[in-house]
Structure 1
Amino acid sequence: MTTRTFRIMVRGVFDGLTDGQRAELLAAAPEHDVLHAAFTREGHLSYDLAARAAFTFRFLDEGEAEEDILAATERAERTAEDWLAARGYGVKNLRSQAEDLSRAPLGKRQRRAADNAAR
């Protein structure tokens, strides 16, 4: 069976941060800069607290069947919630979006490579 790769984004908004929590997040902001965002197995957090209180976790997961994306999304949400709860960060509007890369449309170069391989 073929392994499918899933990219999952868990988004939300920090809510009710204390001054100490805000200072902690601002101090760690360079490692969570959106310009360094990546999809990783453990999840990568990005935010720009100076601009707005929104954040995004990016996760990479795998499965064998199309239905496995649901379990992968649940794992990503649980991991994000656990990380936030462990630090006492309040959250609102938590939502997820998942993509099965095996079903993603091919770009122009990928289509050309697939056409050349088929010849």
Structure 2
Amino acid sequence: MATQHTYRVIVRGKWDGLTAASRAKLLAEADRHGLSQYRFTPEGALAYDAALHSFSYRCVIASDAADGEEMAAALGEEKAEAALTAAGLGWRDLRSTATDMDTMKINRKSR
């Protein structure tokens, strides 16, 4: 059995082909999708501003360590695509980064 690692994935993209109804819905919910509400969760969290130019989506992915950050980033993009499609929102130019939380070194300040 392969070792599972936890990855934090950030998917960034641009809105594309938004209808008037989807723009109105996004604008009505913009205050609930600002940076103050933005967290890494297994379900994923969408953030954007009222300009409706671009967005970011953060999620937590558990994946085999042997598959690496590239696979975690691809899985994060799939999760973002599924969430955006389910919400009826159009996007383009997705790009993602993944950080392996199990290998991340934390520098603590000495006393």
Following the alignment from structure 2 to structure 1, what is the Cα–Cα distance between the partners of residues 70 and 38? 23
| Structure 2 residue ranges without an equivalent (≥5) | none
Q: Secondary structure of 1:83's match?
A: helix
Matches within 5 A, 1:100-119: 100-109=100-109, 112=110
Q: Secondary structure of 2:82's match?
A: helix
Tell me which residue corresponds to 1:29: 30
Matches within 5 A, 1:19-98: 19-48=20-49, 50-98=50-98
- Equivalent pairs, count: 110
Structure 1 ranges of 4+ moved more than 6 A: none
Q: Is the 8 A contact 2:61 2:75 kept in 1?
A: no
Residues 52 and 62 from structure 1, CA distance in 2 versus in 1: closer, same or farther, beyond 3 angstroms? same
Tell me which residue corresponds to 1:8: 9
Following the alignment from structure 1 to structure 2, what is the Cα–Cα distance between the partners of residues 89 and 65? 32
Following the alignment from structure 2 to structure 1, what is the Cα–Cα distance between the partners of residues 64 and 87? 34
| Structure 1 residue ranges without an equivalent (≥5) | 114-119
Q: Secondary structure of 2:62's match?
A: strand
Following the alignment from structure 2 to structure 1, what is the Cα–Cα distance between the partners of residues 62 and 84? 23
Q: Determine which structure has the larger helix proportion and give its number.
A: 1
TM-superposed deviation, 1:22: 0.6
Alignment RMSD (CA, Å): 2.3
Of all paired residues, the percent bearing the same amino acid is 38
Q: Secondary structure of 1:103's match?
A: coil
TM-score (norm 2): 0.82
Following the alignment from structure 2 to structure 1, what is the Cα–Cα distance between the partners of residues 84 and 60? 19
Find out whether 1:99 has 2:99 as its counterpart: yes
